[in-house]
Amino acid sequence: MATFSIATPFSILLTLFLATLLGVTKVEARSFFVFGDSLVDSGNNNYLATTARADSPPYGIDYPTRRATGRFSNGYNIPDLISQRIGQRESPLPYLSPQLNGQRLLVGANFASAGVGILNDTGVQFANIIRISQQLAYFQQYQQRVGALIGVEETRRLVSQALYLVTLGGNDFVNNYYLVPFSARSRQFALPDYVRYLISEYQKILLRVYETGARRVLVTGTGPLGCVPAELAMRSRNGECSAELQRAAALFNPQLTQMIQRLNSQVGSNVFIAANTELMNTDFITNPQAFGFVTSKVACCGQGPYNGLGLCTRLSNLCPNRDLYAFWDPFHPSEKANRIIVNQIFSGSVEYMNPMNLSTILTLDSQT
Ligand SMILES: *[C@@H]1O[C@H](CO)[C@@H](O)[C@H](O)[C@H]1NC(C)=O
Ligand SMILES: *[C@@H]1O[C@H](CO)[C@@H](O)[C@H](O)[C@H]1NC(C)=O
């Protein structure tokens, strides 16, 4: 079996000429693509008519520009910190950003949209959000745009050598199954059956990510859902984590890791990496002082018990030092907590990163 690549001197010259004309230089650090929900959305929802948004203060209060960018964080989010770890000079822009064109496309793109889940009916209350199938459709559109810029062959290489991050699942519980008592999904499924259904749908999504060309995909599960300030405010009497939501996370996350192991055997290589975000978060939630936090129960920005009710807005309570809080708002970790999570993604043991951490991936991939 042989593959031929015909590169005549003329076609090389033409490519160089076009590349110079279009201001395109060689791809430097590997590209990075992000799919998922608010934990990884870097601002797509700013461009949509939705209530799931983080584009006004105090969001972004510690971001370099001190502006709200649409990230659900006081500063950097998880994709920013991963992007920095793989040597990118700037984070991939939100796919809907008008600034995402020309050479910036080669950095990658962020397709994530706050409010989405594995299921299409998750997050319907947020109106216009980019559901995961649409995020994948945008990725195909992206590949066509980049193809027009650097050619089909070079695009295929960029896509297969890139790093991917997929973060889904939390909203399928908090913004679907447990959103209201007697939700449609909770009447349809007992929790263990719902979890099995989510895992089977998540598997289909991951296979589609693979089919679109991805070969290194970090996949996160949910955090300890019952311990976020929002759930403490709604469901807890004495500050203990909500048992029901903890049960959901405890069922979902191990099955996600198992599903990823099966997928890797199916495709015959370690394409997918399970990041145990439940354990990463549980570490600092159960022992906040050891990580330099004063609390893991009270959100920095919010109102009501644990600052866990409603949204983080200009009118909310706001803590003076965000680094002392594990949670920035009722649902999302602070930048400081995101750093702890990304440190584990980078160098965690197999309990945290299965089958391997990001530093090992970078070493392996630099050898091929
Ligand atoms: C979700 O919607 C997309 C697009 O309409 C569709 O292709 C997909 O099958 C749906 N997923 C499920 C689980 O129904
Ligand atoms: C990453 O994973 C490897 C292999 O599991 C392990 O040996 C190493 O200690 C971990 N951390 C770093 C920084 O490489």
User: What letters, b where the CB count within 10 A reaches 16 and e where it falls short, cover 267-281?
Assistant: eeebbbbbbbbbbbb
Each residue's pLDDT tens digit, 32-80: 999 999 999 999 999 998 889 999 999 999 999 999 999 999 999 999 9
Q: What is the mean pLDDT of the chain?
A: 93
Helix, strand, coil percent values for the chain (each to nearest 5): 45, 10, 45
The confidence score (pLDDT) of residue 49 equals 84
Full residue range of the structural domain in which residue 227 is found = 27-366
Q: What is the mean pLDDT of residues 215-223?
A: 97
Task: Let me know if residue 11 belongs to a domain.
Answer: no
332 is catalytic: yes
**CB burial of residue 13 (10 Å; 0-12, 13-18, 19+):** exposed
Residue 2: the pLDDT is 40
**280 pLDDT more than 50:** yes
Å from CA of 358 to ligand 2 middle = 9
Q: Flag whether 12 is in a domain.
A: no
| Residue 182 included in any domain | yes
* Pair type for strands 217-220 and 272-275: parallel
Taking CA atoms, 225 is separated from 98, 151, 332, in Å, by: 34, 44, 11
At residue 166, what are phi and psi to the nearest 5 degrees? -125, 125
What is the C-alpha to C-alpha distance for residues 316 and 325, in angstroms, rounded to an integer?
15
Of 62, 97, 242, 332, which one is the catalytic site residue? Answer: 332
Q: Whose CA is nearest to atom 1 of ligand 1?
A: 120
Q: In this model, does residue 164 exceed pLDDT 80?
A: yes
265 is catalytic: no
Please write the tens of the pLDDT for every residue from 238-258. Answer: 999 999 999 999 999 999 999
- Bridge pairing between strands 32-36 and 301-302: unpaired
Ligand 1 site, residue 258, Cβ cutoff 6 A: no
Whose tokens are 């594995």? That residue is 118
When divided into structural domains, the chain yields a total of 1
Dist. CA 85–CA 109, nearest whole Å = 16
What is the Å distance from ligand 1's center to 119 Cα?
8
**Using an 8 Å Cβ cutoff, are 307 and 299 in contact?**
yes
C-alpha 206 to ligand 1 mean position (Å):
14
Predicted pLDDT of residue 4: 41
Q: Which residue has the tokens 């807890």?
A: 236
Distance 273 CA to ligand 2 centre (A): 14
DSSP 289: G
Q: For 8-22, 85-99, 269-283, 337-351, which range has the lowest pLDDT when averaged over its residues?
A: 8-22
CA separation for the pair 349, 222 (Å, rounded): 18
Report the separation in Å between the CA atom of 348 and the middle of ligand 2, taken as the mean of its atom positions.
6
Please state the three-class secondary structure of 148-181 as a single string: HHHCHHHHHHHHHHCEEEEECCHHHHHHHHCCCC
pLDDT at 102 > cutoff 80: yes
What is each CA distance from 81 to 3, 140, 158, 187, 304, in whole angstroms? 39, 25, 21, 39, 31
Q: Average pLDDT of 151-176? A: 97
Any domain includes 179: yes
From the candidates 31, 37, 38, 91, which is the catalytic residue?
A: 38
Catalytic residue among 37, 41, 62, 329: 329
Distance (angstroms) between ligand 1 centre and the Cα of 131 equals 9
What is the pLDDT at residue 10?
47
pLDDT at 367: 82
Q: Name the closest ligand to CA 361.
A: 2
| SS3 (DSSP) at 136 | helix
Tell me which ligand sits closest to the C-alpha of residue 353. Answer: 2
Does ligand 1 come within 6 angstroms of the Cβ of 200? Answer: no
Residue 13 lies in a domain: no
pTM over 0.85: yes
Residue to mutate, 356, 360, 364, ligand 2, most ligand atoms under 8 Å from C-beta: 360
User: Which residue ranges have their beta carbon within 6 Å of ligand 2?
Assistant: 347, 350, 356-357, 359-360
CB of 349 closer than 6 angstroms to any ligand 1 atom: no
CA distance 344 to 363: 16
Poorest-pLDDT segment among 9-18, 40-49, 55-64, 203-212: 9-18
What CATH number does residue 83 fall under? 3.40.50.1110
Mutation probe of ligand 1 site: the residue of 133, 136, 196 with most atoms within 8 A of C-beta: 133
Domain presence at residue 19:
no
Nearest CA residue ID for atom 4, ligand 2:
356
Whether residue 25 is predicted with pLDDT greater than 50 in this model: the reply is no
Q: Which residue has the CA at smallest separation from atom 11 of ligand 2?
A: 347
Does 1 map to a domain? no
The share of the chain scoring above pLDDT 70, in percent, equals: 92
Ligand closest to 131 (CA) is 1
Cα 355 to ligand 2 centroid, rounded to whole Å:
11
Measured CA to CA in angstroms, residue 334 lies from 74, 118, 171, 176, 327 at distances of 6, 24, 19, 24, 5
Atom of ligand 1 nearest to the CA of 204: 13
Residue 20 lies inside a defined structural domain of this protein: no
- The residue ranges of DSSP E strands in the chain, in sequence order, are 32-36, 108-110, 163-167, 217-220, 272-275, 301-302, 317-318, 353-354
d(CA 310, CA 230): 8
